[in-house]
Structure 1
Amino acid sequence: MSVESLPGYEVRTWYSAVEEIVREAGNELEQPLVKAAVGVAIRNPFAGKPFQQDLSSLTDPSRELGIQLGKRAAALLGGRPVEGYGKGGVAGINGEQEHVVACVTTVFGNGFRDAVGGGRAWISSVTKVAAPGVSIDIPLAFKDEVYVRDYYDGITLHIPDGPRPDELLICVAVASGPRPHARVGGMTKQEALAQFS
């Protein structure tokens, strides 16, 4: 993907991870659970600079960032619909956590939702500052109702060479279903969807 595909950001590289669970706790699953994460390392224009109040240059173009990450992540599910989602990011050590947050606000989230087939729930998120070689655990929740406990999960994305000190790693995660053998109660997917019918 060229830099021109993400106006407003300078992309260095893309990362992805896929996990397909077919057996858990000694029992084969009726359907495999597929979880996928995609991240992109972009230059942080605020890294190493004096404090800036206005971070809109990161937020304003972030809809397309959410779309591109969402499309890539959804494709990794191999044709299965997206049922769970999450987002996150890491600032390199010359940046701030707030620089990451500026990239994954509602503007980004709405683009991400559109790319993965919609979603009514707010998107679980995690952000931090770290050195290259970081792993980030991206939280997952049901895309239409955050209180459906069966979907509380996550996926780890390991970044061997990033984020570099002047970079931001922006990432998303998707899942094809709930945790294997989820059985701790709470609102069901069916009960959540009935609210909207």
Structure 2
Amino acid sequence: MTTTPLEAKRVVDLSARSTLGSYDDIAAAIGLRKISTFSEEIPHTDGRSILRATSTAVIANPWKGTSTDFELAPEAERIAPLLSKLLTDRLLEVLGGAEKVEAFGKAALVGAGGEIEHAGALIHTPYYGNLMREALEGTSILCFADGFGQPGEMLRIPMWHKTAPATRSHYQTIEIFLSDAPNATEIAVVAAASTGPRPHARIGDRNTDIPVTSEILKEITL
């Protein structure tokens, strides 16, 4: 007896399932080679420590060998939610839960055998961003970095406040070293988050700045 495409696929509910344990089915579905999670602790002036973390998934490029007019949406809709779930589960574990997260960001690097739009297709859609925002209890759009990469890359991921992007104290970056990714036919996708602002933030806030225009150039003291 033959099976239809719908019968051949197994429907699973990931909404309440942790991916910190077994996730072989997800890994197989997206061509996952590895996940790496990095965290750092920074002393803060108010006596607490700020935790910052990234989680990175390296997957096979699902659009390898396709032309620049190939439709990206079907694979993006299939893969991006799984990436968001895998990566945010790990950020929440490291940082202590969504209530601890104050800032977030995202990134993607595509190997030389792909195109820049392949990186964007996985992180610049609601199938990734909306799920990441919901998991981390944010409302802001996610700031980002994307581009081409190769093994040995140093990647800097920007972050800002998850509910108040005008809060300048939370403008920050975190750096990670990708020692073996992405290969030419891979894409590395990153989720990043922080439990606080920069450790010594003191340059004001966009909501309280005085009005500044090019008029100030008329009375510059040198």
The TM-score normalised by the length of structure 2 is 0.76
Is the aligned partner of 1:20 residue 2:20?
A: no
Distance in 2, Cα, partners of 1:99 & 1:172? 17
Residue 38 of structure 1: aligned partner: 55
Q: 2:190 aligns with which of 141, 151, 171?
A: 171
Q: In the TM superposition, what are the counterparts of 1:75-86 in structure 2 within 5 Å? A: 75-78=93-96, 81-86=100-105
Residue 8 of structure 2: aligned partner: none
Q: 2:129 aligns with which of 90, 103, 109?
A: 109
Bigger strand share: 1
**Secondary structure, in 3 states, of the residue corresponding to 1:113?**
helix
How many residues align? The count is: 183
Q: Which amino acid aligns with 1:123?
A: L
Q: CA offsets per residue over residues 97-151 of structure 1, 9 Å max, x none?
A: 11011001222011112222x1110000110001111121111100002111110
The TM-score normalised by the length of structure 1 is 0.86
Bigger helix share: 2
Q: Which amino acid aligns with 1:51?
A: T
TM-superposed CA distance for 1:8, in Å, is 4.4
Residue 191 of structure 1: aligned partner: none
Distance in 2, Cα, partners of 1:57 & 1:9? 13
Unaligned runs of 5+ in 2: 1-21, 208-222
Distance in 2, Cα, partners of 1:58 & 1:88? 18
Distance in 2, Cα, partners of 1:184 & 1:32? 20
**Secondary structure, in 3 states, of the residue corresponding to 1:71?**
helix
TM-superposed CA distance for 1:186, in Å, is 1.1
Q: 2:30 aligns with which of 5, 9, 17?
A: 9
Question: Conserved in 1, the CA contact under 8 Å of 2:57 and 2:83?
Answer: no
TM-superposed CA distance for 1:19, in Å, is 1.0
Q: Which runs of 4+ in 1 moved over 2 A?
A: 5-8, 47-53
TM-superposed CA distance for 1:187, in Å, is 4.6
Aligned-pair RMSD on alpha carbons?
A: 1.8
Unaligned runs of 5+ in 1: 189-197
CA shift in 2, pair 1:111/1:32, >3 Å: same
Higher relative contact order (Cα pairs below 8 Å, separated by 6+ residues): 1
Question: Conserved in 1, the CA contact under 8 Å of 2:37 and 2:55?
Answer: yes
Residue 134 of structure 1: aligned partner: 153
Q: Which amino acid aligns with 2:74?
A: S
